[in-house]
Chains A and B, each alone.
Chain A
Amino acid sequence: MPVAASAIYFLNLRGDVLINRLYRDDVGGNMVDAFRTHIMQTKDLGTCPVRQIGGCSFFYMRISNVYIVIVVSSNANVACAFKFVVEAVALFKSYFGGAFDEDAIRNNFVLIYELLDEIMDFGYPQNLSPEILKLYITQEGVRSPFSSKPTDRPVPNATLQVTGAVGWRREGLHYKKNEVFLDIVESVNLLMSSKGSVLRCDVTGKILMKCFLSGMPDLKLGLNDKIGLEKESQLKSRPTKSGKTIELDDVTFHQCVNLTRFNSEKTVSFVPPDGEFELMKYRITEGVNLPFKVLPTIKELGRTRMEVNVKVKSVFGAKMFALGVVVKIPVPKQTAKTNFTVTSGRAKYNASIDCLVWKIRKFPGQTEPTLSAEVELISTMTEKKSWTRPPIQMEFQVPMFTASGLRVRFLKVWEKSGYNTVEWVRYITKAGSYEVRC
């Protein structure tokens, strides 16, 4: 049995039920009490998202200020259940227009009940595609499209879409201006040892797409990835163009992408859903261009003084710049006083997280600002334990830069009416978990 969820609960942080839906009778009505007493009110909250209490298993997730709990009584498929929750939340968001939190749930509870009825029946997931659901569950709660004029509407056709094969796009869309927006968003994960060697480094990227296209367009996306290029040159029997090629470790696609064609021809071709969606995800571990290098020196001078010097070097092109750069430099708990000078941006000591927080709003490429600080510590008699140094953490966004070097080579749109399209491509690299031990 893949899921067969017995119940789903939406709780606020205090444990009050915002909405619940019991799909099956095999769990008691007070499961939520069990969840509250055994998980929410104990230290175990957050230690593991899957817990067994009695014969029931609880899968829970916190999204903003809401806990979503799925209760199952059988040996369920956990991955499926969590994915379901994530998809359901995405669906709700698309209905509420953005936020998903306690207030949104309270304001839309009728709608959520309606949706919960449609997306899962007797514990089995049904259709979760927002595009199709919006056909018959509308925010206004208007009549279903079939009921207004049942006789002249081709009803079977409309519902075929509800459950049919091209589940992600409905027919008859029309836009005056046909536009496609592509966002390549990468997050760089780095773990660097205190000696400056890279312990672990990878990039997880996703291509987000916003489509405003009429009709049933066929799209084809070309990237500068190695396999795709090789295949292309093979097919066209001409040598690969020089230039950087990227080796993708692994790719996953939105369900609209024709995977068979990807496997045989290595091209990404698809009929896109309308609006915003995540076209693909990829992961790269080789040849990552790190946007920043962090060079820390931290000296403990006796028991009450520390000297911290951190140099951050931007290693991307001089014409580019990073935004929202934050460097968090950990200091001991018993920090009393800090003095620092920075060559760029602002720094302050944040006692609640025991860090010096150094913010640089705009950080141009090929520069290396430094922070030097003197930290005075409260001397304590009992404190003989040495300070364990947490890593320095960094946050940043670098527009028009990809750590992987990935580039979109082309995006082709075919539609039988032959309209012209405008394509927009943006790149951005963000910090995932960017850690440097010191």
Chain B
Amino acid sequence: MAPPPQSQRSPSPSQPSGKGEVSDLKSQLRQLAGSRAPGVDDSKRELFKKVISYMTIGIDVSPLFGEMVMCSAASDIVLKKMCYLYVGNYARVNPDLALLTINFLQRDCKDEDPMIRGLALRSLCSLRVANLVEYLVGPLGSGLKDSNSYVRMVAVVGVLKLYHISASTCVDADFPATLKHLMLNDPDAQVVANCLSTLQEIWTLEASTSEEVAREREILLSKPVVYYLLNRIKEFSEWAQCLVLELAAKYVPSDNNEIFDIMNLLEDRLQHANGAVVLATTKVFLQLTLSMADVHQQVYERIKAPLLTLVSSGSPEQSYAVLSHLHLLVMRAPYVFSTDYKHFYCQYNEPSYVKKLKLEMLTAVANESNTYEIDDLLGSITVTELCEYAANVDIPIARESIRAVGKIALQQYDVNAIVDRLLQFLEMEKDYVTAEALVLVKDLLRKYPQWSQDCIAVVGNISSKNVQEPKAKAALIWMLGEYSQDMHDAPYVLESLVENWDEEHSAEVRLHLLTAVMKCFFKRPPETQKALGAALAAGLADFHQDVHDRALFYYRLLQYNVSVAEHVVNPPKQAVSVFADTQSSEIKDRIFDEFNSLSVIYQKPSYMFTDKEHRGPFEFSDELGNLSISAESVDTVVPAQSVEANDKDLLLSTAEKDDGRDPASNGSAYSAPFYDGSSGPAATSQSHGELAVSNTSVSGQTPASSLAIDDLLGLSFPGEVTATPTPPPLKLNPKAILDPGTFQQKWRQLPISSSQECSLSPQGVASLAAPNTLLRHMQGHSIHCIASGGQSPNFKYFFFAQKAEEASTFLVECIINTASAKSQIKIKADDQSSTQAFSTLFQTALSKFGLP
């Protein structure tokens, strides 16, 4: 092959660190390329190894492309493999150079050695360069007909790769039909398996476009195909078996005999050493018998032992995967596992993710019906065991176990013993134990008000100063409000809490405080009046939307009619009989349908984490969800927190239904953040007029805001620029770090302190086309990007910066419209006073963008 002219090589931004070495390598490679001296292969190998190792550590060795291709004309297979690897890595960035390799790859595809044929074909398909697809069809076609199964196996996956590069080329060449034929006729099991996975993927993606393909896809699930594959199942590798079993789980048998035939055939798969095969078999069994309740129960009994074995063997990660599935099954049918509860005891050294699942299972098993005496016994055994964990050094697990005791308490009739336990927890004098126990006692009282005397006596001894956690504090305050008539010093405790209003950071606690003071007021008016006044004033001045609204709502309610207010705040309550399930049965069923996949691990159906629109229920998370972290990645990266938030939201929305009568006091029982609409719908819409008046605490806003959110937050002061003291010159920390979760949380909590428009230089707009230029530019000014995205003409960026001396952060949302060369900037800041300085800094930086 003729050596490529040097001049063709595109200059690539190689890292300076590797530059010298790369040119060294280049000359050495060139020396060896033509040499036929003995031992030259070995020295080539060494050189190639070096190249690959540079490539691995991230040095750009693409300038060597030509030399590498030249040297690889050798017959040495290891050299070839290394060269293929190199080519596969750089072909996409250098499509022109990739063309050079086509020639020798195509020749290798006709090599007499099947290994080389296969390897060459695999590399050819892995180039992933769109304009080279025409060269793929021929070798793929002959690869599929190759006499050697290794080549066929590679060719089948090659078809899938081709499909992902160019779907139309793949379909036009009629490859799917060839694969279908191959799948049903090839003697080699791995070829068949690869056909199956390829066809499944292609047809699933095509099905939405064509009905014909959708029908084809149905054929995969037809009786002849499924039977054909199942009958050969023992020939398949363990991975291919998973594939076939997955398919079988979707098959709908025509009658019960068929079901039993399949189950008999697959029974022995449950003994397979590979956990994935066992789980896949389990899925087939469960799915097939859904319509036969009694057999379905037997299936549970049958699969129990293999699953428990899998849990206790293998690495913690593997057992976690299995345990998650077991968890799902235990939740569906706890009674089946009632004799196995010992398996769910936690070991001291187990990782906490395993412990957490075990705790939940233990709870579920213990909670199952009270029809049998054994269950009561089991309940008390479990509670004893859980109490052991409550003293655990692993704090999250200790918390979980206290919650678990609570769950059992809420479902069992024999609460007596459990209440004692809880009160013991309160006396343990560990912050987190007290905190969890308080939350629990509150829930318990909502269900069993008759226990109030006992509980209140203990709760009354807890000083609110010792309780720091928001949830626990909220629970304590709720009890103070609800049982203020029985707690002697309730009004005074509340009063002191109101006095420290400004030090209370959690909005949830402030909300509860407002409500509790109101409740207390109606029970003991003279003692509470002062506290109520102070609380309402503080609430009205609060910058948190919900707190403000609720304060306003109470204020107006009191103004309107005190007895109506009393009726609203202190209605006669019914004990909550059943707490809402955290997940709807529909969602549970969907998860069950997706058994043996991530859905089970995440405990939510796949559409919630694979579809973009479902990933987060909040607008903000959606925004972030469609953007990308650091703007470099192709795919979306949402902070994990939004996922949790999603979960919590679900939880909250179902919980809400139950508590409709008492909207003000719920919420704290669940780990949900308080951003629901329970603060009373009446207040939100009409309160804008007065907002500005009450909002004197926030300073430093600029008037230009025209966005609705500002109005909602009540933070814009049209026409009034506050004279802020001149802040010292602002210095930013060039190495600021903020994780997206915190960013998101802060973004949600902080008010907008500045919102402006500024224009961009035309050069700046032009250089926006390259993705990372702006980010690099801003980074030069110590402003970091956390997420970015969008489509022309609108681009959206989220930036953050930190002060050099203190941990005060600025968050920026910046929308750039390339058509108008304008950008909209919204700034939120921990320290409002320096916003102005930061805003100027930011705008200066932005306006310099693109200018030399």
Chain A residues proximal to chain B, CB less than 8 Å: 1-4, 16-20, 24-31, 33-34, 37-38, 42, 44, 46-57, 59-61, 72-80, 82-84, 86, 109-110, 113-114, 117, 121-122, 124-129, 136, 141-144, 146-147, 150, 155-156, 159-160, 162-165, 167, 189, 191, 199-200, 202, 204, 206, 249-255, 257, 259-260, 262-263, 278, 280-283, 285, 384-386, 388-391, 393, 433, 435, 437
A75-B597, A200-B343 are contacts. A109–B630 as well, Cβ < 8 Å?
Answer: no
Do the beta carbons of B635 and A56 come within 8 Å of each other? yes
B122 contacts the other chain (CB 8 A) = yes
Cα–Cα distance between A250 and B309 once the two chains are bound (Å) = 7
Q: In the assembled complex, which residues on chain B have CB atoms less than 8 Å from the CB atom of A76?
A: 597-598
> Which residue of chain A has its CB nearest to the CB of B392?
A388
**Stretch of B14-22, B52-60, B565-573 on the interface side:** B52-60
Known contacts A55-B636, A164-B149, A199-B385; 15 further A-B pairs (Cβ under 8 A): A25-B634, A31-B633, A33-B632, A42-B739, A47-B353, A56-B635, A75-B606, A79-B322, A121-B122, A121-B194, A126-B237, A204-B313, A250-B308, A252-B273, A385-B429
Distance of A337 from chain B, by nearest CB (Å): 23
Please indicate which of the listed interface residues A122, A191, A199, A202 has the most CB atoms of chain B within 10 Å of its own CB: A122
Do the beta carbons of B242 and A77 come within 8 Å of each other? yes
Do the beta carbons of A83 and B309 come within 8 Å of each other? no
Cα–Cα distance between A25 and B81 once the two chains are bound (Å) = 21
CB-based closest 6 A-B pairs: A28-B633, A54-B637, A259-B268, A80-B276, A125-B239, A250-B305
**Stretch of B110-118, B468-476, B669-677, B816-824 on the interface side:** B110-118
Q: Tell me the interface secondary structure of chain A in the complex.
A: mixed
- A-B contacts, 17 of them at CB < 8 A, read A2-B246, A31-B635, A38-B637, A38-B739, A38-B740, A54-B638, A76-B598, A78-B600, A121-B122, A127-B237, A147-B115, A159-B148, A163-B190, A164-B188, A202-B312, A250-B306, A255-B238
Cα–Cα distance between A249 and B309 once the two chains are bound (Å) = 8
Q: Which of A206, A259, A437 is the one whose CB lies under 8 Å from B388?
A: A437
Do the beta carbons of A49 and B316 come within 8 Å of each other? yes
A78-B597, A122-B160, A144-B115 are contacts. A253–B271 as well, Cβ < 8 Å?
Answer: yes
Distance of B461 from chain A, by nearest CB (Å): 15
Q: In the assembled complex, which residues on chain A have CB atoms less than 8 Å from the CB atom of B378?
A: none
A38-B640, A385-B430 are contacts. A27–B635 as well, Cβ < 8 Å?
Answer: yes
Q: In the assembled complex, which residues on chain B have CB atoms less than 8 Å from the CB atom of A4?
A: 197, 201
**Stretch of B150-158, B691-699, B710-718 on the interface side:** B150-158
Do the beta carbons of A25 and B594 come within 8 Å of each other? no
Do the beta carbons of A57 and B598 come within 8 Å of each other? yes
Do the beta carbons of A1 and B201 come within 8 Å of each other? yes
Binary per-residue interface labels of chain B (57-75) against chain A in the complex, 1 for a CB within 8 Å, 0 otherwise: 1100000000000000001
Q: Which of B583-607 contact A (CB under 8 A)?
A: 594, 596-602, 606
B10 contacts the other chain (CB 8 A) = no
Q: In the assembled complex, which residues on chain B have CB atoms less than 8 Å from the CB atom of A189?
A: 312, 347
Q: How many B residues touch the partner, as a band?
A: 35 or more
Q: In the assembled complex, which residues on chain A have CB atoms less than 8 Å from the CB atom of B280?
A: 2, 77
Distance of A353 from chain B, by nearest CB (Å): 11
Cα–Cα distance between A251 and B309 once the two chains are bound (Å) = 8
Q: Which of B834-848 contact A (CB under 8 A)?
A: none
Q: In the assembled complex, which residues on chain A have CB atoms less than 8 Å from the CB atom of B149?
A: 156, 159-160, 162-164
Distance of A270 from chain B, by nearest CB (Å): 12
B548 contacts the other chain (CB 8 A) = no
B765 contacts the other chain (CB 8 A) = no
Do the beta carbons of A56 and B347 come within 8 Å of each other? no
Do the beta carbons of B52 and A113 come within 8 Å of each other? yes
Do the beta carbons of A78 and B77 come within 8 Å of each other? no
Please indicate which of the listed interface residues B56, B148, B629 has the most CB atoms of chain A within 10 Å of its own CB: B56
Q: Which of B49, B53, B128, B347 is the one whose CB lies under 8 Å from A433?
A: B347
Q: In the assembled complex, which residues on chain A have CB atoms less than 8 Å from the CB atom of B600?
A: 78
Cα–Cα distance between A308 and B689 once the two chains are bound (Å) = 72
Q: In the assembled complex, which residues on chain B have CB atoms less than 8 Å from the CB atom of A109?
A: 52-53, 56
> Which residue of chain B has its CB nearest to the CB of A143?
B77
B769 contacts the other chain (CB 8 A) = no
Do the beta carbons of A56 and B116 come within 8 Å of each other? no
B483 contacts the other chain (CB 8 A) = no
> Which residue of chain B has its CB nearest to the CB of A391?
B348
> Which residue of chain A has its CB nearest to the CB of B152?
A163
> Which residue of chain B has its CB nearest to the CB of A48?
B353
Q: In the assembled complex, which residues on chain A have CB atoms less than 8 Å from the CB atom of B628?
A: 28, 54
B379 contacts the other chain (CB 8 A) = no
Distance of A53 from chain B, by nearest CB (Å): 5
Q: Which of B410-439 contact A (CB under 8 A)?
A: 428-430
A55-B635, A250-B306 are contacts. A255–B272 as well, Cβ < 8 Å?
Answer: yes
Cα–Cα distance between A390 and B305 once the two chains are bound (Å) = 30
B828 contacts the other chain (CB 8 A) = no
Distance of B756 from chain A, by nearest CB (Å): 30
> Which residue of chain A has its CB nearest to the CB of B325?
A79
B279 contacts the other chain (CB 8 A) = yes
Q: In the assembled complex, which residues on chain A have CB atoms less than 8 Å from the CB atom of B267?
A: 263
Do the beta carbons of B274 and A147 come within 8 Å of each other? no
Do the beta carbons of B116 and A147 come within 8 Å of each other? yes
Binary per-residue interface labels of chain B (316-328) against chain A in the complex, 1 for a CB within 8 Å, 0 otherwise: 1110111011000
Do the beta carbons of B279 and A79 come within 8 Å of each other? yes
Q: In the assembled complex, which residues on chain A have CB atoms less than 8 Å from the CB atom of B640?
A: 38, 44, 51-53
> Which residue of chain B has its CB nearest to the CB of A190?
B347
Q: In the assembled complex, which residues on chain A have CB atoms less than 8 Å from the CB atom of B723?
A: none
> Which residue of chain B has its CB nearest to the CB of A121?
B157
Q: In the assembled complex, which residues on chain B have CB atoms less than 8 Å from the CB atom of A254?
A: 273
Q: Which of B269-285 contact A (CB under 8 A)?
A: 269, 271-276, 278-280
Do the beta carbons of A147 and B52 come within 8 Å of each other? no
Distance of A244 from chain B, by nearest CB (Å): 21
Cα–Cα distance between A121 and B164 once the two chains are bound (Å) = 14
> Which residue of chain B has its CB nearest to the CB of A33?
B630
B260 contacts the other chain (CB 8 A) = no
Q: In the assembled complex, which residues on chain A have CB atoms less than 8 Å from the CB atom of B594?
A: 75
Q: Which of B164, B348, B601 is the one whose CB lies under 8 Å from A390?
A: B348
Do the beta carbons of B56 and A17 come within 8 Å of each other? yes
B639 contacts the other chain (CB 8 A) = yes
> Which residue of chain B has its CB nearest to the CB of A39?
B640
Cα–Cα distance between A125 and B610 once the two chains are bound (Å) = 22
Please indicate which of the listed interface residues B76, B238, B740 has the most CB atoms of chain A within 10 Å of its own CB: B238
Cα–Cα distance between A28 and B632 once the two chains are bound (Å) = 8
Q: In the assembled complex, which residues on chain A have CB atoms less than 8 Å from the CB atom of B310?
A: 252
Cα–Cα distance between A29 and B238 once the two chains are bound (Å) = 30
Distance of B342 from chain A, by nearest CB (Å): 4
Q: Which of B81, B188, B643 is the one whose CB lies under 8 Å from A160?
A: B188
A42-B739, A54-B625, A56-B635 are contacts. A156–B148 as well, Cβ < 8 Å?
Answer: yes
Do the beta carbons of A124 and B317 come within 8 Å of each other? no
Cα–Cα distance between A106 and B202 once the two chains are bound (Å) = 37
B191 contacts the other chain (CB 8 A) = yes
Do the beta carbons of B114 and A159 come within 8 Å of each other? yes
Q: In the assembled complex, which residues on chain B have CB atoms less than 8 Å from the CB atom of A435?
A: 347-348
Q: Which of B766-801 contact A (CB under 8 A)?
A: none
Please indicate which of the listed interface residues B273, B313, B615, B634 has the most CB atoms of chain A within 10 Å of its own CB: B273
Cα–Cα distance between A127 and B312 once the two chains are bound (Å) = 27
Do the beta carbons of A388 and B393 come within 8 Å of each other? yes
Q: In the assembled complex, which residues on chain B have CB atoms less than 8 Å from the CB atom of A389?
A: 391
B78 contacts the other chain (CB 8 A) = yes
Q: In the assembled complex, which residues on chain A have CB atoms less than 8 Å from the CB atom of B428?
A: 385-386
> Which residue of chain B has its CB nearest to the CB of A434?
B347
Do the beta carbons of B635 and A77 come within 8 Å of each other? no
Do the beta carbons of B272 and A79 come within 8 Å of each other? no
B488 contacts the other chain (CB 8 A) = no
Do the beta carbons of A77 and B345 come within 8 Å of each other? no
Binary per-residue interface labels of chain B (235-263) against chain A in the complex, 1 for a CB within 8 Å, 0 otherwise: 10111001100100000000000000000
Cα–Cα distance between A110 and B194 once the two chains are bound (Å) = 26
